[in-house]
């Protein structure tokens, strides 16, 4: 039995991981600032500490005397398309916060870190994305995650701290945040249907992704450090089944029982057209994992979403640039939150 720390454990993926680890009879400590997570998501068998990875003094206090052996580092800013406009937030949480976790892990003798990375580290390269391919991030989010992967490699070489980086992509399922209109197409679509709003599809909707049901990947996350040949490496982890955003919208409408729900094809925004991975390396190292079909995964998620009900739009994100520098889609989304004014920090 190990003592495990899950950062971001009150959030979407983290909450599923916490329950899985507890079912494996691990002792689990959760750190979450609840900016995107919910207390209700946390399995009551775990200990929840409210706090941020950015607070290095709290991190040091958290590790001291706990005997933490494994860290599952999932806490992050995750609204990738928005990262251009919140660079300080992105690098504070995703880079500086990760460094705090790495430093504390070295100081307190942690065995290893499982790091939730992203396919955003690849950037604008042809799909399918492969681990031995070029890494050319095109946004601050992907760049920050890549910096942490590289820092983990340096730290392992110098201090012997093991790690496994798992490049997740387009994960959906129960416990995802429905109220945030900036991230996760499945959550946005579900909430728009429950709020009787048209589904927002940018451009022609023919962008291709591989949507990954959360429970399919949790066992790999949990066991990654137990596979010796995985330590010190990065792996693509997710579905191999491809869908366009139009197909996703149709599948969500079907799952919610409203196949004729309207779709609003908004003007296109800057995003990569086709993003999907080759997962052969992960399957060769961790073994094959079962994949829940999109229809079944969405049916389960839709049942959960109906129980939760429509969510008032909210976001903890404050935009860091003046309105004239924002693309239309960001202005449109931010105007729908709160009192209708864009959430802009500007030079404050």
For residue 81, give the CATH number of its domain: 3.40.50.720
Considering the domain architecture, whether residues 348 and 223 belong to the same structural domain is answered as no
- Residues 326 and 230 occupy one common structural domain: no
Predicted confidence at residue 124, as pLDDT, reads 92
Q: What is the pLDDT of residue 342?
A: 45
Kindly report the backbone phi and psi dihedral angles of residue 249, in degrees, each rounded to the nearest multiple of 5, phi listed first. Answer: -60, -45
In a domain, 249, yes or no: no
- The pLDDT assigned to 316 comes to 77
Of 48, 336, 22, 307, the C-alpha closest to 182 is 336
Residue 176 in any domain: the answer is: no
In a domain, residue 324? The reply is yes
Using the structure block, give the residue that is written with the tokens 């492969």. Answer: 130
For residue 22 the two structure tokens come to: 């507890």
pLDDT in tens, 33-75: 999 999 999 999 999 999 999 999 999 999 999 999 999 999 9
- Greater model confidence, 317 or 110: 110
pLDDT of residue 339 exceeding 60, the answer is no
- Report the chain's mean pLDDT, rounded to a whole number: 93
Q: Say whether both 233 and 340 belong to one domain.
A: no
> Is residue 200 in a domain?
no
338: pLDDT confidence band, cut at 50, 70 and 90? low
pLDDT tens sequence across 148-186: 999 999 999 999 999 999 999 999 999 999 998 888 999
pTM score of the predicted model: 0.94
Predicted confidence (pLDDT) per residue in 308-331, tens digit: 999 999 887 888 988 888 888 888
* pLDDT, position 45: 98
Q: Tell me whether residue 88 is in a domain.
A: yes
For residue 282, the tally of other CB atoms under 10 A from its CB is 25
Same domain, 39 and 162: yes
Which residue, 296, 288, 345, 286, is CA-closest to 316?
A: 345
> Using alpha carbons only, how large is the chain's radius of gyration in Å?
19
The parent domain of residue 36 ranges over: 3-170+213-237
In a domain, 282, yes or no: no
Q: 139 vs 1, which has greater pLDDT?
A: 139
Confidence of residue 341 (pLDDT cuts 50, 70, 90): very low
User: How far apart, in whole angstroms, are the C-alpha atoms of residue 16 and residue 24?
Assistant: 13
For residues 323 and 227, membership in a common domain is answered with no
The domain total for the chain is 2
Query: Does an H or E element contain 348, and which?
Result: none
Strand order across the 112-118 sheet: 47-50, 27-32, 3-7, 70-73, 112-118, 162-168, 233-237
183: in domain: no
Residue 82 included in any domain: yes
């Amino acid at each position: 039995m190990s003592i495990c720390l899950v950062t971001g454990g009150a959030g979407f993926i983290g909450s599923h991981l916490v329950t899985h680890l507890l079912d494996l009879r691990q002792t689990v400590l959760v750190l979450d600032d609840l900016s995107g997570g919910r207390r209700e998501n946390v399995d009551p068998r775990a200990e929840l500490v409210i706090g941020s990875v950015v607070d290095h003094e709290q991190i040091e206090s958290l590790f001291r005397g706990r005997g933490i052996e494994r860290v599952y580092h999932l806490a992050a800013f995750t609204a990738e398309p928005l990262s251009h406009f919140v660079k300080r937030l992105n690098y504070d949480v995703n880079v500086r916060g990760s460094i705090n976790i790495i430093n504390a892990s070295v100081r307190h003798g942690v065995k290893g870190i499982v790091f939730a990375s992203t396919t955003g580290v690849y950037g604008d390269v042809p799909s399918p994305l492969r681990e031995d391919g070029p890494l050319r991030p095109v946004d601050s989010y992907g760049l920050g995650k890549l910096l942490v992967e590289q820092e983990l490699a340096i730290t392992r070489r110098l201090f012997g701290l093991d790690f496994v980086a798992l490049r997740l992509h387009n994960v959906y399922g129960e416990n995802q945040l429905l109220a945030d209109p900036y991230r996760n197409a499945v959550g946005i679509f579900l909430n728009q249907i429950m709020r009787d709003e048209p589904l927002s599809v940018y451009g022609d909707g023919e962008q291709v992704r591989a949507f990954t049901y959360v429970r399919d990947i949790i066992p790999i996350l949990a066991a990654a450090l137990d596979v010796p040949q995985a330590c010190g490496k990065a792996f693509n982890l997710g579905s191999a089944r491809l869908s366009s955003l139009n197909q996703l919208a149709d599948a969500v409408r079907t799952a919610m029982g409203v196949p004729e729900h309207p779709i609003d094809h908004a003007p296109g925004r800057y995003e990569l057209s086709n993003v999907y991975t080759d997962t052969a390396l992960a399957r060769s190292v961790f073994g094959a994992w079962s994949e829940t079909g999109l229809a079944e995964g969405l049916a389960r998620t839709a049942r959960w979403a109906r129980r939760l009900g429509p969510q008032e739009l909210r976001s903890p994100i404050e935009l860091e640039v003046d309105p004239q520098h924002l693309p239309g889609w960001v202005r449109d989304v931010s105007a729908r939150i709160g009192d209708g004014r864009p959430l802009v920090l500007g030079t404050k």
